[in-house]
A and B are shown apart, each in its own frame.
Chain A
Amino acid sequence: MDHSDLWNSFSYFLSELNRIETIAGTLATVEREHYRKLTGFDHRELTDIAVEEQNTARQLGAIKQICNSMAQKIQELQDTYKAGSGGSAGRNEVH
């Protein structure tokens, strides 16, 4: 893989991570709406499903955070690559 391919791959990862983050946010909103509707019935099984929907929304929130962290790491890699330092980003620089 030549330099331009690698650069394009980084850009592709970043763009797709942003897309996943947006989708996760949209789905979380839908799940929360389901939770609101399902808790309107005084029914144990529906309440159970509502609780699962609410929890799923939180897990989608976690996915958004993971995407964000990964995007930052890829950005760091891109910056390192651009600077041509050859050093590795992350823990090795810290410890």
Chain B
Amino acid sequence: MKFIDNYLRSLLNEYVDKGYTRLMRDQYTENLFEMVPATKKAGPINLVELAMRAAKGLPVSRPLGSHLKLSPWEKLLFNPVHLYRFPTPENVSISTAVTIGRKAHRPLTVAIPLLIAAMSFGGALSKKAKIALAKGATLAGTATNSGEAGLLEEEREAARLFIGQYNRGGWMNTPEKYKRLDAIEIQLGQGAQGSSPQRTSGKNIGPDFQKVFQLKKGQEAQIRSRLPGVNSVQEFVALVRKLQKETGVPVGLKIAATHHLEKELEIALEAGVDFVTVDGAEGGTHAGQTVLEDDVGLPTLYALNRAADFFKKNGVFGEVNLIAAGGLITPGQMLKALALGADCVYLGTAAVMALVGEQIVGSQPFEPPVSMVIYNGKLTDKLDVDKAARSLFRFLNASVSEMEAVCYSLGKTALRDIDKSDLCTLDPFLAKATGIQLGHIAPEEQDSYFREFSFCHPEPEVFNSTRQEQQFLQ
């Protein structure tokens, strides 16, 4: 045995020596190392996706959204208190419940501000995964979301609180379906795909998918860019009011975050929506075209802050609920989103990963973890629904506990009481844009600090001084 061991070692040594020598002597045109700068130039993800495009000639669809980190959550930090305001005593419980749609006849109250994001049966996830998400959410006292799908009976039964999407495919848009929901979210777009159309080919649609979506055999599932029957602002306003009147549940709007945000929100408020879901560019999806995931939309952090500011300016902050979505993974990020003005946050990728949890070993090493949860995944049958639901429940519980831990340190007794004043930032531009104080400077010196840097961008004072100079010159 020792002889074989020594032989293998000397053989390996010889080949490694030869390899290193070739790496050092060969010119790039003959050198395998050429792959390293080429991969660094294009990026490993881009390089593989480039090869995928070249292999099929079709747009590349990537699961779970963009890999780009566009929202600088790490540049926000919470401000603990000691004497200025006293921390919350440990025997005081932190309130975590949130009511969505206070003005609706049947408001929706969840025990925690974490909701399971819209991920459709068929278009994205398997039936088992959807049921597990619903069960996990129910255990935690929160709501799950249908995604752009029809009404999946098993999911409705498993979910104590169920938000359904009135969607661009039209699959939930009939009274016998939407009257069975606890809240209605009119879906006009999503962070990962903007408002672009999507299509699921008929060959990928099984009998259960056909039944829920009411499709004929071989018929494709088409998500349009516009909501059927809504081609004007007036038609949107009429739809919101009709749904509110017919159902009595909170009716909201979901859009992809965009630089046109305030114009979109103005119309949503005119329609009288009960809540708005802003889905940032980091939002995930089952399979979105990479260009839509990486190059379209507005990051969650900026979009959420702008939406909250717009609500405050229009006097509806706290009255119309704001739900943030898109790339929120850690409890810290979730809590920062609440501090910026969200009432609740949607969890998609994080919820799916938590759902798979320890069962990940069942997919390794030959299949990715998502193969256990996506519709048409090779290992969907292997997912244990009850175990998955418990994993999700534990994840939600742990996340809220971590959020509560911060709340004690801030001297607050409810997660909903945390706001921008509990944060500081390490980025001057972020401070200027969001109104969060800059951590480098004492609170009372913030204004003078930024005044000194007013040359960075033309503020009214600069224009005035220029005019004075012009008068002086004349």
Contact = CB atoms under 8 A, between A and B. Distances in A.
A64 B413 CA distance: 15
Contacts of A66: 99, 109
B97 A51 contact: no
A95 B93 CA distance: 36
B140 A94 contact: no
Given A32-B93, A94-B272, A95-B244, A58 B107 contact: no
A62 B107 CA distance: 12
A55 B398 CA distance: 10
A86 B438 CA distance: 53
B401 interface: yes
Contacts of A90: 103, 105
Contacts of B398: 51
A17 to B, nearest CB: 14
Contact of A51 (B96, B105, B248, B397): B397
Contacts of A58: 96-97, 111-112, 141, 400
Interface in A40-74: 48, 51, 54-55, 57-59, 61-62, 64-66, 69
Contacts of B105: 90-91
Contacts of B244: 91, 95
Nearest to A95: B272
A69 B109 CA distance: 10
Contacts, number: 59
A33 to B, nearest CB: 10
A40 to B, nearest CB: 15
Contact of A61 (B104, B111, B139, B393): B111
Contacts of B141: 55, 58-59, 62
A14 interface: no
A61 B96 contact: yes
B241 interface: yes
Interface string B34-46: 0000000000000
Indicate the member of B111, B248, B398, B400 with the most A CB atoms within 10 Å. B111
Nearest to A60: B111
B95 interface: yes
Interface residues of B, number: 28
B153 to A, nearest CB: 25
A55 B393 contact: yes
Tell me the dominant secondary structure on chain A's binding face.
helix
A61 B109 CA distance: 10
B401 A59 contact: no
B111 A69 contact: no
A95 B103 CA distance: 10
Contact of A62 (B109, B241, B400): B109
A61 B401 contact: no
Interface string B221-260: 0000000000000000000010010001000000000000
A54 B397 contact: yes
Residue of A32, A66, A95 contacting most chain B CB atoms (<10 Å):
A95
Interface of B: 93, 95-97, 99, 102-105, 107, 109-112, 139-141, 241, 244, 248, 272, 390, 393-394, 397-398, 400-401
**Nearest 8 A-B pairs (CB), nearest first?**
A62-B111, A62-B97, A59-B141, A65-B97, A95-B272, A59-B111, A58-B111, A61-B97
29 contacts: A28-B93, A32-B93, A51-B393, A54-B401, A55-B141, A55-B393, A55-B397, A57-B93, A58-B97, A58-B111, A58-B112, A58-B141, A61-B93, A61-B95, A61-B96, A61-B111, A62-B110, A62-B141, A64-B97, A65-B95, A65-B109, A66-B99, A69-B102, A69-B107, A91-B103, A91-B104, A91-B248, A94-B272, A95-B272
Given A29-B93, A58-B96, A69-B109, 9 more contacts: A28-B93, A55-B139, A59-B141, A62-B110, A64-B97, A69-B102, A90-B103, A91-B104, A95-B272
